[in-house]
Amino acid sequence: MSQASHSSALPGPQDIHRSQLANGITLLHRANFYSPSVVIRGYFNAGSIFDSDEQLGLADFAAACLMRGTQNYTFEQLYEKLEDTGASLGFSAGTMTASFSGRALVEDLPLLFELLAEALCRPTFPTGEVEKRRTQLLTGLAIRAQDTADMASLAFDRIIFRDHPYQRPDDGHPETIRAITRDDLVNFQQRQYGPQGMVISIVGAVDANATRDQLEKTFGDWSNPTQQAAPGLPPVKQLDSITREVIRIPGKPQADLMIGATGPSRRDPLYLPASLANSVLGQFGMMGRIGDVVREQSGLAYYASSSLSAGNGPGSWEVSAGVNVENVEKASELILQEIRRFVSEGVTAEELQDSQDHFVGRLPLQLESNSGVANALLNMERFGLGLDHYLTYEERVRNVTTEQALQAAQTYLQPDRLAIVAAGSL
């Protein structure tokens, strides 16, 4: 495929339709008449940022109960309607927003809109269903407490995001989930669910005008004067030294190890250089340099890689490894040595080009499905990337230099200011 035809196949201003309803809902639409289905993705301001410490997990609990019954449908009736048409619809909550996703054949899009509106605007939180979901949530938290990777991740976030909303787990703790009543769920939905700040992305075999008309018909009258706007995020406090923590979980022969620090936000100019640098450090090929040194050469880890996450607030940049409990110290020191070398020497021109080729080459695969495009449209809106983001993506990736990759590594992976967490029977 030529570069010109490749670019024309990417979503951009030429085929993305962005509009806004009078009540504040933003619609992003891209038609795809080669597929008989339609995908809906969206988010709204009802994440755990609105939870108190005493009721942490409230936003997640509420989102999990939206399909448990509404004013017009029972739990069973909701899912029968979905199953009869082969459609799907689900909800979840993160730190800043709650999200929804659905899929249906194009002729069943009105049904999907109807059930979306039922769940968002008219949930009833039936007592029996709420208690079933509470039991499931508590079971999940009990499993989390025995999972070395999950417990290492919780401790890692608590260290690098200390005194910041990101330090808290979105799904709460057993004591906070037990403290949440049905009335709390009802009040949270009535207070926080509303059209302001909601974004809906729709991709599939329906044109933009028909989609907007359907959205206006379903949600145009929705309002909530009590809805709170998302609060601003405070700056994160950088670590001033290496901070270590051990989480002891008996009976676990494998330990999970995490080493890293805060990373750039999605809008940070160093985000793309950091992403490419991270690919070299612990992603590309056999998990980059980290995987080569710790796993392949030394045989000290079952897995070893690095990852970079970013949002509107600060992100994280960490190395993760699964190791035998007897090898935690050796693996930690090897990882620290590799990070020191990484921030001292940077990436080579060949390593950078390999990662650039990979980033550019995987883009069409990420956008080959309606779901992939719908998620891409949401990211462009959420992070203010612009409708031409993917049309200019290759140029921006190719323009990253080895010097910029080194600057990103030195800015965020300072070897004497890292969190080091191990969880297992240590």
CATH of the domain at 137: 3.30.830.10
In this structure, are 169 and 103 located in the same domain? Answer: yes
Tell me, yes or no, whether 213 and 249 share the same domain: no
Tell me, yes or no, whether 237 lies in a domain. no
Helix axes 109-121, 75-85, angle to 10 degrees: 160
Say yes or no: 50 and 85 in one domain.
yes
Dist. CA 416–CA 414, nearest whole Å: 6
- At 31, the amino acid letter reads A
Same domain, 46 and 127: yes
Judge whether residue 6 has pLDDT over 80: no
Residue 251, by phi and psi: left (phi above 0), alpha (psi -120 to 50) or beta? left
At residue 2 the predicted structure's pLDDT band, cuts being 50, 70 and 90, is very low
pLDDT at 4 over 70: no
Please tell me the least confidently modeled range out of 23-27, 218-222, 230-234, 396-400. Answer: 230-234
The answer, yes or no, to whether residue 5 has pLDDT greater than 60, is: no
Whether the predicted pLDDT of 200 surpasses 80: yes
Rounded to a whole number of angstroms, the distance between the first and last alpha carbons of the chain is 53
Q: Please report, for residues 152, 374, 383, the alpha-carbon distance to residue 307 in angstroms, rounded to integers and kept in the order given.
A: 15, 23, 19
| 65-91 pLDDT tens trace | 999 999 999 999 999 999 999 999 999
pLDDT of residue 83: 97
197 and 55: one domain? yes
Q: Which residues pair with 104 in a beta bridge?
A: 38
Average pLDDT for 280-299: 91
| Residue 152 binned pLDDT confidence (cut-offs 50, 70, 90) | very high
Reply yes or no on whether the pLDDT at 1 is more than 50.
no
Whether 142 and 249 have beta carbons less than 8 Å apart is answered as: no
Q: Could you tell me if 174 and 206 lie in one domain? A: yes
Examine the pLDDT at 353 and tell me if it is beyond 90. Answer: yes
Q: What average pLDDT does the structure give for the chain?
A: 95
121 with 82, same domain: the answer is yes
Point out the least confidently predicted range of 107-121, 190-204, 283-297, 373-387: 283-297
Number of domains the chain contains: 2
Q: Among all chains, which residue has been given the structure tokens 């992100």? A: 315
- Residue given tokens 């670019």 in the structure block: 7
Task: Name residues whose C-beta falls within 8 Å of residue 235's C-beta, 6 or more positions apart in sequence.
Answer: 314
Give domain status of residue 230, yes or no: no
Same domain, 211 and 256: no
**Is there a domain that residue 224 lies in?**
no
CB atoms within 10 A of CB 317: 28
Confidence class for position 7, pLDDT limits 50, 70, 90 = very low
Tens of pLDDT, residue by residue over 370-413, are 999 999 999 999 999 999 999 999 999 999 999 999 999 999 99
Q: Are residues 365 and 260 in the same domain?
A: yes
Residue pair 87/108 in contact (Cβ under 8 Å)? The answer is yes
- In this structure, is residue 236 part of a structural domain? no
**Domain containing residue 286:** 243-424
3-state secondary structure labels for all residues of the chain: CCHHHHHHCCCCCCCCEEEECCCCCEEEEEECCCCCEEEEEEEECCCHHHCCHHHCCHHHHHHHHHHHEECCCEHHHHHHHHHHHCCEEEEEECCCCEEEEEEEEHHHHHHHHHHHHHHHHCECCCHHHHHHHHHHHHHHHHHHHCCHHHHHHHHHHHHHCCCCHHHCCCCCCHHHHHHCCHHHHHHHHHHHCCCCCCEEEEEECCCHHHHHHHHHHHHCCCCCCCCCCCCCCCCCCCCCCCEEEEEECCCCCEEEEEEEEEECCCCCCCHHHHHHHHHHHHCHHHHHHHHHHHHHHCCCCCEEEEEEECCCCCEEEEEEEEEEHHHHHHHHHHHHHHHHHHHHHCCCHHHHHHHHHHHHHHHHHHCCCHHHHHHHHHHHHHCCCCCCCCCCHHHHHHCCCHHHHHHHHHHHCCCCCCEEEEEECC
Q: Are 49 and 95 in contact (CB under 8 A)?
A: yes
Distance (Å, rounded) from C-alpha 58 to C-alpha 137? 11
Residue 365 has pLDDT above 90, yes or no: yes
Q: Read off the tokens for 330.
A: 């050796």
Q: Residue range 197-203: average pLDDT?
A: 97
Token code pair at residue 92: 């979840």
- The pLDDT score that the predictor gives to residue 340 is 97
Q: What is the pLDDT of residue 8?
A: 55
Considering the chain, what percentage of its residues have pLDDT values greater than 90?
94
- Among 219, 252, 275, where does a domain finish? 219
What confidence score (pLDDT) does residue 212 get? 96
Q: What angle separates helix 271-282 from helix 402-412, to the nearest 10 degrees?
A: 90
Residue 65: per-residue pLDDT: 98
- 302 and 155 within one domain: no
The pTM assigned to this predicted structure is: 0.93
Place of tokens 């009078």: 22
Q: Is residue 229 part of a domain?
A: no
- Whether residue 140 is found in the same domain as residue 288: no
Is residue 75 in some structural domain? yes
In-domain check, residue 170: yes
Query: Are residues 269 and 361 part of one domain?
Result: yes
Mean per-residue pLDDT, 238-249: 96
Q: Is residue 102 part of a domain?
A: yes
Percentage of residues in the chain having pLDDT higher than 70 = 98
364 pLDDT tier (thresholds 50, 70, 90): very high
